[in-house]
Chain A
Amino acid sequence: MLTALEQNAWEVLNLVEDPEIPVISVVELGIVRSVIDDNGTLKVNITPTYSGCPATQVIEDSVIEALNKAQLLPFEVKTVLSPSWSTDMISESGRQKLKEYGIAPPADHSVDKMALMGEERQIKCPNCGSMDTQMVSQFGSTPCKAHFKCKDCLEPFDYFKCLK
């Protein structure tokens, strides 16, 4: 059972957007690892997606700002490395929002591997739904994404790489 404070905190944090992908919250992305009411002190653990992701600091600042604004005091925000973040931590609603935003959500591990080895027709185009897609580069606009193109609608798109 969540305490009222924990419940409240999850709701507040669910409104904190990812700075790079502003349609998805840091909760949906799986960055907020735990929220614990420790005798009235709120203990929030967050975890980075990629070690060098420049958004990590911004996210921590945004989380602190949101908790301050909602007056959920006192609180402690801690960055934890373990268990290390994986794309399985992205929620179902998060995956749906990525797709609507034009980013193909991470595929299953085996499909992902084939796609990133250059195998075509593995990842569905988030714009037109075609499977006629091809990887352009394993590395995309942010550390968590690869660069793809759709050979049907000819649009380039980002694919959120599977990280296990």
Chain B
Amino acid sequence: MSDSKNLMDVALHLGDNALILGHRLSEWCGHGPVLEQDIAMTNIALDLIGQAKMYFDLAAELEGAGNDHDHFAYKRDVLDFKNLLITETPNGDYADTIARQFYFDQWHYLLLQELANHENERLREIAQKSLKEVTYHQRWSSEWVVRLGDGTNESKEKMQHAIDDIWYYTGEAFMPADFEKGILPDNLKEQWMSNVKAVLDEATLTMPSDEWMQEGGKTGSHTEHLGYILAEMQFLPRAYPDATW
């Protein structure tokens, strides 16, 4: 495959991560445990969906078929999506959402730090912009892991449960798909493990050690959850093509 096709797939992978996790967080709108955190989650959702738009614009440029960002969000099906499985896992309870966000943010932050110096100018620009936002995301989710982990017996138990449960979706980020080789960094795992451990230690939680991991999202093998997400997200533009406000 050509370099340009691989770069397009990387842009879709990064855009899909942001879009799907952004959509998941947006499901909390009006349901957050307290108003401030409802607003926090929807703010993070907005950042991510904005980032997805930038990646999809890049993918559209590389594709050169006259499509725009909406095409990639609304006109593709499950098999075309390249997001990490962790981004599509259900919101569960607040601890589940925090665990998912924490694991993802810790990876996302390290990734963007590398991409902010990438040789590709467009990727570099998007990363530099996103990194500023993700710095806030990462701080927020880490603080919540500590607050709930080092909280009451009940919050600790729930947080540990969530950390253990979602652990199996964290390995995929460090298993490179063919399209990303030579474009995305492949050396983030060690730093990620050490950063995650530092926060879990502070939270008085136990870091899972199981090495078996779920995978498949980057190549289109998704959990059953993605279809439901797309059904909700894509219904309107599919039922009413080119609808405008």
Give chain A's interface residues, CB within 8 Å of chain B. Answer: 48, 50-54, 81-86, 116-117, 136-141, 143, 147, 161, 163-164
The 10 closest A-B pairs by CB, nearest first: A52-B50, A51-B50, A52-B46, A137-B36, A139-B40, A139-B43, A82-B125, A84-B129, A81-B125, A52-B47
Chain B neighbourhood of A147, CB < 8 A: 36, 39
Residues of B within 8 A of A (CB): 22, 36-37, 39-40, 43-51, 53-54, 121, 124-126, 128-130, 132-133, 136, 139-140
Instruction: Find out whether the CB atom of A141 lies under 8 angstroms from the CB atom of B39.
Output: yes
Cross-chain contact B129 with A143 (CB below 8 angstroms):
no
Cross-chain pair count, CB within 8 angstroms: 74
**When the two chains form the complex, which single residue of A52, A138, A163 contacts B48, counting CB atoms closer than 8 Å?**
A52
Chain A residues positioned under 8 Å from B132 (CB to CB):
84, 86, 163-164
Cβ 8 A contact of A53, one of B39, B46, B54, B124: B46
- Contact partner, A140, options B39, B45, B47, B50, Cβ 8 Å: B39
Residues of A with C-beta under 8 A to B128 = 81-84
Picked from B54, B125, B129, B140, the residue with its CB within 8 Å of the CB of A138 is B140
Min CB–CB distance A29 → chain B (angstroms): 16
Q: What residue of chain B has the Cβ atom nearest to residue A51's Cβ?
A: B50
- Cβ contact within 8 Å between A81 and B129: yes
Min distance, Cβ A112 to any Cβ of chain B, angstroms: 11
Contact of A51 among B36, B39, B47, B136 (CB under 8 A): B47
Q: B140 near A139 (CB under 8 angstroms)? A: yes
Q: Please pick, from B37, B50, B139, the residue contacting A50 in the complex, using a CB distance under 8 A.
A: B50
B44 CB to closest chain A CB (Å) equals 7
Are B126 and A143 in contact (CB-based, < 8 A)?
A: no
Is B46 a contact partner of A54 (Cβ separation < 8 A)? yes
**A162: shortest Cβ distance to chain B, in Å?**
10
Q: How far is the CA of A136 from the CA of B39 in the complex (A)?
A: 12
Which residues of A sit under 8 angstroms from B45, Cβ to Cβ?
52
Inter-chain contacts of B136 with A (CB < 8 A) = 116, 138-139, 161
The chain B residue sitting closest to A118, CB to CB, is B143
* Docked CA distance A135–B53 (Å): 31
By the criterion CB–CB under 8 Å, are B40 and A52 in contact? no
Q: Which residues on B sit within 8 Å (CB–CB) of A86?
A: 132
Bound Cα distance A85, B129 (Å): 8
Measured CB to CB, the nearest residue on chain B to A147 is B36
- Complex contact B39–A48 (CB within 8 A): no
Closest to B129 in A: A84
Please determine whether A143 and B125 come into contact, CB atoms closer than 8 angstroms. Answer: no
Given A50-B47, A50-B133, A137 contacting B53 (CB threshold 8 A): no
B60 to chain A, nearest CB (A): 14
The residue in chain A whose Cβ has the minimal distance to the Cβ of B124 is A82
A123 → chain B closest CB, angstroms: 16
Give, as a whole number of angstroms, the nearest-CB distance from B92 to chain A: 21
CA distance A18 to B37 in the complex (A): 26
Q: Could you list 9 further interchain pairs (A-B, Cβ under 8 angstroms) beyond the known A52-B46, A147-B39?
A: A48-B129, A81-B126, A81-B128, A117-B139, A137-B37, A137-B39, A138-B136, A139-B136, A141-B39
Q: Is the CB of A116 within 8 A of B139?
A: yes
CA distance A141 to B39 in the complex (A): 7
| Distance between A116 CB and nearest chain B CB, rounded to angstroms | 7
Contact A138 B40, beta carbon cutoff 8 Å: yes
- With A50-B50, A138-B136, A138-B139 known as contacts, the answer to whether A143 contacts B43 (CB < 8 A) is yes
Q: Please give, as numbers and ranges, the residues of chain B lying within 8 Å of A117 by CB-CB distance.
A: 139
Least distance between A55 CB and chain B CB atoms (Å): 11
Distance (whole angstroms) from the CB of A113 to the closest CB of chain B: 9
* Interface pair B43/A51, CB less than 8 Å apart: no
**Cα distance A89–B39 in the bound complex, in angstroms:** 26
User: CA separation between A143 and B48, bound complex, in Å?
Assistant: 11
